[in-house]
Each structure stands twice: as C-alpha cells, then as structure tokens.
Amino acid sequence: MRILAIETSCDETAVAVAHDIDDVIQIETSLVRSQIDIHTVYGGVVPEVGARQHLEMIMPMIARAVRPDGAGIDAIAVTAGPGLAPALRVGVEVAKTLAWTWGKPLVPVCHLEGHIYANWIGDEKTLGTVTIPAFPILALIVSGGHTELVLMRDHGQFERLGETLDDAAGEAFDKVARMLGLPYPGGPAIDALALKGNPHAFAFPRPMLNRDDAMFSFSGLKTAVLYELRKDDTRLTDEGFRADIAASFQEAIVETLVEKTMRTAGKCAPKSIVLAGGVAANALLRNRLTVAAEHRGIPMFLPPFRYSLDNAAMIAAAGYYRAQHGDFTDPLTLVAHPNQDI
Ligand code: KG4
Ligand code: ZN
C-alpha cells in the first residue's frame, strides 16, 4: 500500500509518500518545511502566522511528492489533532479535497500516534534488517505539548498510564532555554550547550520521583532553575555558567523521564519500549534510555533521528496501520480536533 501523508499541526509543513515492505514503512519522499525562522522573531509559534505559511507551502510541496491525478496513491493520511486549530485545518481541508476528487480513502491520524509510529520506519542504514516493536509496548511520548506514558497492547489500542500535571518536557526545555537567552526552540540549543557543562554543578530537583505512579511534573524544576539564576544574574554572561545550568537541568529531566519509564516498565512488563516526540532527538535521553532498557533486558526502540521531530513520514506510518484496519473517514465531514489525545 502506498500512502500520501500530510502534517500541519504546528510549525512544520510536511508531506510524505511511503509504502510498506512486510509491515516496515519505507519512505519514498519526506518533505519538511520548518517555519522556525518566522516564529523565532516572536519567541514562539503564532497560530495564525503558522496557518498562513502552511497555506502557502502545502500545495507546491504536494506537487513535488505526487502526480497531479494522484496515480499510484492508495490512501491519504492526515494529522487531525492535537495541535493548533488554524494550522491543523489547512492539512485537513487539503487532504479532504484530494481524497474526494481522487476517490481515495482518507485516514485521520493522531499526531501523538504518529510520533510513536516513527519507530516502524525502516532507516536506510539498517538495509532491511530492521525489526519492529513487539506488543505489549510501553511508549514514552515527549513532545512540546505532551509528556505521557502509554501502554499499547495492539495497533490502535492505547492506554494512558500517566502524564504531566503541568509543563510538558519539551516545554520545560523551551522555557529554561529562554531563561538562558537561547533561541527558540530551546531543546536542541540546551542539548548542544549541555555538552560543554557539568551535569552535577547544580542539584536541581527530580520531580515526582517520590511518587509511585507514572505522573510527571516539570514546572517545579523550571522554577528551581529560575531561582538559581536570580541569585546573581551577572553570571548569565559567563558561557561556562550557562553550560553548567543547561547540563544540570538536562540531567534532572532525563533522569526523571528514564526512571519513571523503567519503573512503569517494571509494573506492566512490556515486550518493547519505544521513545516518541520531539524530545526523542535529545542525545542524552536516547543514550540513557538505551542503557536502562538493556539493563532490564527489554528491547528499546528509538525513532530514526530525522523522523524524531515533526514530519509526515510518521503520519504515513501510523496511517498505514490504521488503513490495514479499515479506519477510514468520510472526506466530506472530517474536522480537526485540536485537543485530541491519544
Ligand atoms: O514533537 P515536536 O517536534 O512538536 C510537538 O509535537 O510539540 O516537539 C517539539 C519539542 C520542542 O519543545 C523542542 O524544544 C523539543 O521538542 N526538542 C528537544 C530537542 N529537539 C527538539 N528537546 C530536547 N533535546 C533536543 N535535542
Ligand atoms: Zn510533534
């Protein structure tokens, strides 16, 4: 099956074409147009500005990926939520129009589900030797808007075991980065700066580790960083000091995510653990999860680095499995669901 996928939930316009070989998703085309350069001016994503960019970019990108009559495409997958309403609507309306005029089935995909399914994409380097996660799967979702531990017993079956009570992990990275005067989005900037710092320079809290559940909370950690900076803000001009703050903050957040994931794995005995969401691009998180899962003897799956951040290849992967189960929708009535959860 060959799928055209469209993703416009936030600040990336993305289009992909993919097919499967034995249930492993092979990406033929993956186009991502980031709007970061535009939103950086505002220090964050402005929904209406983002939607306008999606409107300008989406059709030329689709024209690069498929033939004008849709020949060779078996189904169209689109992110229906969660995300920014004006942004989501662009992708949803384009997908509906194409599905109706081409007479192809339309598959709505949850953005978070898409991030999880990035783990079913065959990486070029693995040359067909890629394995796919076995059920039951424990998924750690860490994006700009979500931090969740989800148990997947089968395709399309998601049980949320825990989530954040306040800030998402990616949001905490973005806010601490802003305190350090780093550009938006903050995650990659902290990831890079932390390499030069001492992760034990400051003892920041490991929130919620005293609770024996799968819940997270990152606003206290963010406030602890703010209080440390306020003690003497002249230190902010010192690159070494900023690197120590970045490294110590990253250490606290990664340690918390890994510890909670492994404790939850101890309770629900998954056959595999998968990492998902933009924070999956974080090098320390990838390393620590791999080591911890190996220690417990559970296969750990990391999304290919290039499909960790928002993209449409992952929407194609999730769409493929939804299509296998006949999860199609009416192209005339599909609406975006900005607050959808997994
Ligand atoms: O999944 P994503 O691309 O967009 C949403 O669905 O929200 O996630 C974006 C988040 C941002 O908060 C960004 O700072 C974070 O992922 N991020 C990272 C890294 N790269 C992106 N966080 C930590 N380390 C990174 N290398
Ligand atoms: Zn995302």
Nearest CA to ligand 1 atom 8: 278
Q: Quick one: pLDDT at residue 125?
A: 57
- Residue 137 and residue 316: Cα distance in Å, rounded? 20
Closest residue CA from atom 19 of ligand 1:
187
Confirm or reject: Cβ of 143 under 6 Å from ligand 1: yes
Check the CA dihedral 15-274-329-108 and report its sign. Answer: negative
Q: Could you tell me if the CB of 187 is within 6 A of ligand 1?
A: yes
Distance 170 CA to ligand 1 centre (A): 5
Cα–Cα distance between 106 and 334 in angstroms, integer? 9
| Distance (Å) from CA 305 to ligand 2 centroid | 13
Tell whether omega for the bond before 303 is within 30 degrees of 0, i.e. cis. no
Taking the centre of ligand 2 as the mean of its atom positions, its distance from the CA of residue 139, in whole angstroms, is 14
Alpha carbon of 237 to ligand 2 centroid (Å): 33
pLDDT tens, the chain, 342 aa long = 999 999 999 999 999 999 998 889 999 999 999 998 898 888 788 999 999 999 999 999 999 999 999 999 999 999 999 999 999 999 999 999 999 999 999 999 999 999 999 999 986 555 555 689 999 999 999 999 999 999 999 999 999 999 999 999 999 999 999 999 998 889 999 999 999 999 999 999 999 999 999 999 999 999 999 999 999 999 999 999 999 999 999 999 999 999 999 999 999 999 999 999 999 999 999 999 999 999 999 999 999 999 999 999 999 999 999 999 999 999 999 999 999 999
Please, what is the Cα angle at 26 between 20 and 133, to 5 degrees?
75
Residue 143 φ/ψ, nearest 5 degrees: -125, -170
Is ligand 1 within 6 A of the CB of residue 173? yes
> Angle between the 283-296 and 186-194 helix axes, to the nearest 10 degrees?
70
**The pLDDT of residue 131:** 84
Predicted TM-score of the model (pTM): 0.96
- Cβ–Cβ under 8 Å, residues 286 and 296: no
Beta bridge partners of 25: 20, 121
Looking at all shown ligands, the one closest to residue 174's CA atom is: 1
Ligand with minimal distance to 143 CA: 1
CB 244 within 8 A of CB 236: no
Closest to 107 in 3D by CA, of 124, 92, 88:
92
* Structural domains present in the chain: 2-130+306-324 (3.30.420.40), 137-298 (3.30.420.40)
| CA 173 / ligand 2 centre spacing (Å) | 14
Atom of ligand 1 nearest to the CA of 112: 6
Q: What is the Å distance from ligand 2's center to 143 Cα?
A: 6
- φ, ψ dihedrals at 86, nearest 5°: -65, -35
Q: How far is the CA of 135 from the centre of ligand 2 (A)?
A: 23
Check pocket membership of 309 for ligand 1, CB cut-off 6 A: yes
Tell me the C-alpha distance between 328 and 76, whole Å.
10
For the Cβ of 108 lying below 6 angstroms from any atom of ligand 1, the answer is: no
Residue 33's contacts (CB-CB under 8 Å, 6 or more residues apart) are 12, 13, 14, 53, 57, 61
Which of 270, 273, 268 is closest to 302 using CA atoms?
273
Which ligand minimizes its atom distance to the CA of 250? 1
**Three-state SS string across 33-74, please?**
EECHHHHHHHCCCCHHHHHHHHHHHHHHHHHHHCCCCCCCCC
- Which protein residue's CA is at the shortest distance from atom 13 of ligand 1? 187
Q: Which DSSP letter does residue 156 get?
A: T
Say if residues 158 and 294 touch (Cβ distance below 8 Å). Answer: no
